[in-house]
Amino acid sequence: MTPTDQKAFPVSWDAFHRDARALAWRLSSIGGFSAIVAVTRGGLVPAGVVARELGIRVIDTICVASYHEENQRGDVVVLKPLSETILARPSEEVLVIDDLVDTGATAKVVRALLPKAHFATVYAKPQGRPMVDTFVTEVSQDTWIFFPWDTGLSFQAPISAHGA
C-alpha cells in the first residue's frame, strides 16, 4: 500500500512533541534505563525528547532501512550497527525508541540484537504492536502517518469530494 491508498493521519510538531512527552511519562514509571537507542531516522526526534525528560545522556543509534523511495517497503537492512558502548551494557537497561511500529519487521531485527531491551514507540499499528513494550497511540493498519518532518504546510482538499 502507498500513502494514497491509506487513511491519512497528519501529525503536527506540537502533537508529536506532546505524544513523545506522553511516552516519556509512561516510561518514567518503569525506570531502570541507562541508555537509549534511537532507531533512525524516525526514532531520532522522540528519542531526544524522551532522553531529556528521563535525564538519560547515553544515546546511540541503529540505522535501519525498511522503506525505499519513502513509500515502498523492502527488506530490512542494518546500515549502522550498535556501538560497543551499548553492546557492553545489560540489554535490560537499554531503551529502544522509534516513532512507529508498523509491521514489526524493523523491531524484530533490533530485538534480535537487544533481546531484553525495552522497546517503545510513539505510534503502533496492530500488526507490529506485539513487538513493542510501550506505545502511546494505536492507529489502524491502513493508516499512513504523515510525520511533521515529512510534510509542509499546504492546502488540504476536503475528505468528501463534494466539500463541506
Binding site per annotation, positions for guanine = 102, 145
Q: Tell me the binding residues for 5-phospho-alpha-D-ribose 1-diphosphate.
A: 41-42, 98-106
Q: Are 25 and 52 in contact (CB under 8 A)?
A: no
Instruction: Confirm whether 98 is a catalytic residue.
Output: yes
Of 5, 14, 60, 99, which one is the catalytic site residue? 99
Q: Tell me the binding residues for GMP.
A: 102-106, 144-145
Which residue shows C-alpha cell 513487538? 131
Q: Are 2 and 138 in contact (CB under 8 A)?
A: no
Q: Tell me the binding residues for xanthine.
A: 102, 145
CA dihedral over 133, 63, 46, 127, signed as positive or negative:
negative
Of 5, 60, 75, 102, which one is the catalytic site residue? 102
Q: Are 50 and 30 in contact (CB under 8 A)?
A: no
Of 98, 133, 142, 150, which one is the catalytic site residue? 98
Alpha-carbon distance of 86 to 18, in angstroms, equals: 28
Please give the single-letter amino acid code of residue 51.
A
Instruction: Confirm whether 102 is a catalytic residue.
Output: yes
Just list the catalytic residues. 98-99, 102
